[in-house]
Amino acid sequence: MRISYFNLIMDKSNFHIRNYESSSKPQGEVSWRSPSNIALIKYWGKHGNQLPCNPSLSFSLKNSYTETNVRYAPAEEKKPALQYSFEGKHEVSFETKVKKFIKNIYEYFPFLKHTDLSISSHNTFPHSSGIASSASSMSALALCFCSIERQCFQSLQDEGDFYRKASFIARLGSGSASRSVYEGFSVWGENKLISNSSDLFAISLLSQRGDHFNKLKDYILLVDSRSKEISSTAGHALMKNHSFANARFEQAKENLDKILTAIEQDNWNDFADITENEALSLHAMMMTSNPSYILLKPNTLKIIDKIKQARKQKALSVCFTIDAGPNVHLIYPERESRKVRTFIEQELLIYCSDEKGIEDQMGKGPQQIK
Ligand code: DP6
């Protein structure tokens, strides 16, 4: 069966600037707001230059985003200068990451080699909350560079070309960031059911989807808001010599096929089973890697139990997903919001640090501010 998803993308993969004039001296300012996303089919394991070992599926969030402003001018010295501030403060660790990222993308934006950059960024969500800040920040930066290219070199005028290159560049900064440049659901990684899917960039699924999936909510239950025990990059590396690696990559591929069918056929129970299976498989990989990590906390398990019970006993359309940490994302259709709100308040918040959570939902994708 071939799923009739419509996507924006044509299969082109030349991301170099055509008609690039090295004598041009770009100058100006650009700003983008770009969302984080939550993966339902998890990217865990990569090879080569940021290529995924399996395809992944996520949806972009609405309230959790990064806003990035880039001011650019011809370099005053031979070596271009970079200034980076986060939440108004000079941030050395992220500046180092951004410098490395920019060097890696010179090939696609050669003007960066002789352009001074002043970048400032802020997030709408707290650090270490279980919301991926690398996805929103790297996609915001990629969108800014694509806008500079569009303004200064008259390329990327076609919307499909623009977002495909933004996704390709964002991927080089952080894999999950490739999925943040679209509204709603995105898929990153080759998949036989979706024509034009690619390991190089994500594509948007502007699909026919069942009623449950038009407006999904994501309520993040903050079990523990301390920093992550292991970075995602180190986590991906654990898959290199993992005994279950190949089986896991096959499982993710099969789960993607099944979840696409569940979304199209409006089948909440299948969707919930697959989403939860993905989250637990990701943690199973971490628990069985060498070294091993147990990132789930006792309260994470209590919340999982409550969510499973609510689905079975109260027929609530809820399910959970979890990234590489202890915090739980409660996923549900917007139309169930009133009932789910009561469930969260009465049964789940007691397991959260400071009895707190963050309410978010499927969003409309990135937005250019300037
Ligand atoms: C568990 O995209 O953060 O959130 O490519 O090394 O930056 P890097 O990794 P990253 O990994 C995300 C892993 C995940 C699952 C997912 O978002 O698909």
Ligand 1 cavity residues, CB under 6 Å: 39, 42-44, 50, 56, 132, 134, 174-176, 232-233, 236, 282, 323-324
Q: Is residue 370 part of a domain?
A: no
Determine, yes or no, domain membership for 194.
yes
Is residue 27 domain-shared with residue 168, that is, in the same domain? yes
CA-176 nearest atom, ligand 1 = 2
| pLDDT given for residue 225 in this prediction | 80
Is residue 366 domain-resident?
A: no
Inside any domain, residue 350: yes
Residues 193 and 300 occupy one common structural domain? no
Q: Which of 168, 185, 208 is the last residue of a domain?
A: 208
Asked if residue 244 lies in contact with residue 287, where contact means CB atoms within 8 angstroms, the answer is no
> Is 90 exceeded by the pLDDT of residue 18?
no
Distances (CA, A) of 278 to 7, 120, 303: 24, 35, 17
Could you report the per-residue pLDDT of 27-67, keeping only the tens digit for each?
999 999 999 999 999 999 999 999 999 999 999 999 999 99
The reply to whether 150 and 27 lie within a common domain is yes
- pLDDT average, residue stretch 281-298: 97
Query: How far apart, in whole angstroms, are the C-alpha atoms of residue 82 and residue 118?
Result: 6
Residues 56 and 167 in one domain: yes
Q: Considering the domain boundaries, does residue 369 fall inside one?
A: no
Beta-strand pair 28-41/367-368 = antiparallel
The token duo for 116 is 């001074």
Mean pLDDT, residues 221-241 taken together: 89
Number of domains present in the structure of the chain? 2
Pick the last residue of a domain from 193, 208, 223.
208
- The average confidence (pLDDT) of the chain is 93
Closest residue to atom 8 of ligand 1, CA basis: 174
The minimum-distance atom of ligand 1 relative to the CA of 173 is 7
Query: Do 149 and 250 share a domain, yes or no?
Result: no
Q: At 46, which helix (H) or strand (E)?
A: strand 46-47
Q: What CATH number has the domain bearing residue 290?
A: 3.30.70.890
- Pick the last residue of a domain from 177, 208, 239: 208
151 CA → ligand 1 middle, Å: 31
In this prediction, residue 13 has a pLDDT band, given cuts at 50, 70 and 90, of low
List CB contacts of 317: < 8 A, sequence separation 6 or more.
212, 268, 272, 311, 332, 333, 336
Q: Tell me how far apart the alpha carbons of residues 364 and 370 are, in angstroms, rounded to a whole number.
A: 18
Find where tokens 């200068």 sit.
Answer: 81
Tell me whether residue 367 is in a domain.
no
Distance from residue 365's CA to the centre of ligand 1 (Å): 18
Same domain (yes/no): 190, 251? no
Rounded-to-integer distance, Cα 261 and Cα 209, Å: 9
Query: Domain span at residue 9?
Result: 5-208
Residue 188 has pLDDT above 90, yes or no: yes
Biggest CA–CA distance in the chain, Å, is 68
Q: What is the pLDDT averaged over residues 239-265?
A: 97
Q: Distance, CA 1 to ligand 1 centroid (Å)?
A: 30
Write the DSSP assignment of 199-228 as a string of letters. SSSEEE-B----GGGTSEEEEEE-S--SPP
The answer as to whether 112 is a domain residue is: yes
**pLDDT at 351 exceeding the cut of 90:** yes
Q: Could you tell me the distance, in angstroms and rounded to a whole number, from the CA of residue 368 to the centre of ligand 1?
A: 24
- Helices vs. strands in the chain: H and E counts, helices first: 8, 14
342-369 burial by CB neighbour count: b if 16+ within 10 A, else e?
A: ebbeebbbebbeeeebbebbbbebbeee
Ligand 1 atom index nearest CA of 135: 2
Nearest to 29 by CA among 122, 91, 115: 115
201 domain residue, yes or no: yes
Domain match, 227 and 117 both: no
Residue 276 has pLDDT above 70, yes or no: yes
Evaluate if residue 270 carries a pLDDT over 80. yes
Q: What is the pLDDT of residue 210?
A: 76
Quick one: pLDDT at residue 85? 95
11 and 153 belong to one structural domain? yes
Mutation choice for ligand 1 from 176, 218, 323, 329, CB with most ligand atoms inside 8 A: 176
